[in-house]
Structure formats: C-alpha cells, structure tokens
Amino acid sequence: MDRTDLLVYSARLPDCKVLGPYTRAVIWVSGCCFDCEGCIAQNFRHSEGITISTVEMKDWILSLKNIEGITISGGEPFLQAGPIAEMISLVKEKKDLGIIVYSGFTYEQLLEKAETEQDIRDLLGQADILIDGPYRRELDDNRPYVGSSNQIIRILTDRYKDCWKDYYLSKKGREIEVIISDGRTVMAGVPGREQQQFWEELNRKFSEE
C-alpha cells in the first residue's frame, strides 16, 4: 500500500473524557472491513467521510491545549494505518501525547500483518494502548470501556501502566458523551444497552425533524 498524506475521518472531538484517561481528542476514521452485528458505528463504516491532510489533522490536534492524548477509533484505523501513523509522528515531533487505538483486528492478526506491512508496524509502534478484536454482540457483558468480552485492552507501553488500573476501576459502568461537533451529533464511549437505545431514539428523532 502506498503511503498517502491524506486521511479520511467521519467525526472528531476536541475534548472527550470517556475514551481513555485524562482529556483526549478523539478521531473516528471512515470505513471498515468488518460487519459486526450490532455495530454502533454504522455511520462511520459507510459514510463518505471528510478527507484531510495529515498536516491539517496534526495542526488541529496541536491547537487543543488541554489534551493528554488521542483516541483513534472508527471505522477501522488500521485500514488507514500509514496516514494515521504519519499524523501521529508529526504531532509527537511537537508534543508528547498518549495514543489509544481501537481495532476490529486482533493483536495477533496485526502482528502478523506487521511482518510485511510497514504502515501497520508504524501505527502499532505508535500505540500506547490497543483495544483489539471485533464487536461480538453475544459476548457483550456490559464491562466498561470495551464492547464485548473477546476484546482485550492491551497495554503496549509504560505510559498508562500505572494510571490505567485506577482509571478502569473508577468506572461504575459504561459511560457515553453525546456532543455536537462539526455540526453533527456524535456519541463517544462504549454504550450499554439502555444508552444505545437512547442514542437510537435520539437519531430517529433527529431524522424525523
């Protein structure tokens, strides 16, 4: 795959508190190669998305003064591993931010791909935490932060090693934020069933108006 300096995203948030420790920027990339039953990100899987250069995205991240890190979700981030890794490395030249990446691929699949694909190696190498594996509705156990019990929170570096346990144990359940960003309503976080119903009803209401 040729490296490009363009990435395609569906939504982004400048300050999120439910997708990792501290305050984080969140980027949901567009497009996904999976088709998980019950996927809550249908609009990110299929939307045409917004095309942006890695430099523009880096500038947006650096304009956010209060964030400790970036969470990248989707869609499937590893389908755009090259530009995302490039954007992160541009950011890190200026500011040391922590990186959390969600993926429908398992860590083992990514490691195998990384043997032959530089872009996958680069993005994996940038991640402090990887939450891996596809959403499996039948394994949805309502744990905070992950969608189903097959998904694993992989602590890949020391950055969040000490704070992660406290962060995770402080969660009483699943948390979401519903925010209007770039003129659209976005839900951040992994929703429980009731939160998901609330979100679906909200969307229905908006589409009727």
- Of 13-21, 30-38, 112-120, 186-194: span binding ligand SF4 (CB under 6 A): 30-38
Quote the CA–CA distance of 191 and 195 in Å, as a whole number.
5
Q: Which is closer to ligand SF4, CB of 20 or CB of 75?
A: 75
137 close to 36: Cβ distance less than 8 angstroms: yes
Task: Please give the single-letter amino acid code of residue 63.
Answer: S
Which of 16, 36 has the CB closer to ligand SF4? 36
- Which is closer to ligand SF4, CB of 40 or CB of 61? 40
Segment contacting ligand SF4 by CB under 6 A, of 57-65, 68-76, 109-117, 137-145:
68-76
Position among 135, 140, 156, 195 found at the interface with ligand SF4 (CB under 6 A): 135
Query: Given the complex with ligand SF4, which of 82 and 133 has the nearer CB atom?
Result: 133
Contact 101, 129 (CB under 8 A): yes
Given 3, 35, 185, 206, the residue binding ligand SF4 (CB under 6 A):
35
- Closer Cβ to ligand SF4, 50 or 163, answer by number: 50
Q: Which of 74, 77, 98, 189 binds ligand SF4 (CB under 6 A)?
A: 74
Q: How far apart, in whole angstroms, are the C-alpha atoms of residue 17 and residue 176?
A: 9
Figure out which of the listed residues 134, 148, 160, 176 binds ligand SF4, where binding follows CB under 6 A. 134
Task: For residues 69 and 61, give the distance between their C-alpha atoms in angstroms, rounded to a whole number.
Answer: 9
Is 75 a residue that touches ligand SF4 (CB under 6 A)? yes
Considering only 64-72, 73-81, 138-146, 167-175, which stretch makes contact with ligand SF4 by CB under 6 A?
73-81
Residue with Cβ nearer ligand SF4 (39 or 139)? 39
Q: Which residues bind ligand SF4 (CB under 6 A)?
A: 32, 34-36, 39, 41, 45, 74-76, 104, 134-135
